[in-house]
Amino acid sequence: MTAKTRLFVDQPLAEGNCVSVSQAQAHYLFGVMRLAVGGAVSLFNGKDGEWRCEILEAGKRKGVLRCTVQTKPLQMPPDLWLCFAPIKKTRTDFIVEKATEMGASKICPVQTEFTNSERIKQERLQAHAVEAAEQCGGTYVPEVIALSKLSTMLDHWPEERQIMFCDETELGVASSLASASRGPWAILIGPEGGFSPAERKRLHSMPEAHVVSLGPRILRADTAAVAAMTIWQAALGDWV
């Protein structure tokens, strides 16, 4: 059974393996959660599933746990990238957190012509993905890749990967995902300023792109990301 407390560790997990936790994790487990030697914690590393572990050492700055039994196998999400133009800090954090919970396999911040921010804190965003996986019971953590230009990304686009292109200007002509095929996909969400005419033209001409409307109201990018992932998961993902 999964223990109440779940943590991500970057170490191999297998029966009998001893795992040491970081200083921050030791503080959380033994200081905040008041767990002690003999107690149980669930660990996952994104590769080996989830393991119930017994606490062997509970120090102020250090802790050692031993894997006893696997409580979940590795559950991979569908092959779905979430590509989005970063917005304000807390809203970008929100997108990463929700993408992890909703089951994205990779999180790709893209710089579009009208993108508000030119930099992202990749490590900080990755930490949000880890935290979201810890909280939602996931055994996989999507990688948050470095910010790349949309134009460069499209230059090297893998032709087998279909794109759910969320275009708020295309009301009424939006195609349905119901007739689309499964396989590798990417969702593309624009910045507050939307896509530039050139970007829209390019995307509309790509055979991989399926233009999708998210309804008659203009959603904020963070809302759009969650709405798009919901629709995709329900039509083509692991909800069906």
Q: Is 110 in the site for ligand SAH (CB under 6 A)?
A: no
Distance in angstroms (rounded) separating the CA atoms of residues 104 and 123: 18
Q: Which of 194, 199, 210, 231 binds ligand SAH (CB under 6 A)?
A: 194
Q: Is 145 in the site for ligand SAH (CB under 6 A)?
A: no
Q: From 65-73, 140-148, 149-157, 207-215, give the range in contact with ligand SAH by CB under 6 A.
A: 207-215
Tell the smallest beta-carbon distance from residue 131 to ligand SAH (Å).
Answer: 25
Tell the smallest beta-carbon distance from residue 221 to ligand SAH (Å).
Answer: 4
Q: How far is CA 168 from CA 53, 54, 138, 192, 218, in A?
A: 48, 51, 31, 11, 6
Q: Which of 80, 150, 221, 231 binds ligand SAH (CB under 6 A)?
A: 221
User: Could you tell me the two tokens for 94?
Assistant: 């929100």
3-state secondary structure of 70: strand
User: Could you tell me the two tokens for 228?
Assistant: 């798009």
Of 39 and 86, nearer to ligand SAH (C-beta) is 86
User: Which residue, chain included where needed, has tokens 């911040």?
Assistant: 109
What type of residue sits at position 7?
L
Q: Which of 219, 226, 230, 235 binds ligand SAH (CB under 6 A)?
A: 219
Q: Is 59 in the site for ligand SAH (CB under 6 A)?
A: no
Distance in angstroms (rounded) separating the CA atoms of residues 89 and 156: 28
Distance in angstroms (rounded) separating the CA atoms of residues 120 and 213: 27
Of 97 and 167, nearer to ligand SAH (C-beta) is 167
Tell the smallest beta-carbon distance from residue 147 to ligand SAH (Å).
Answer: 17
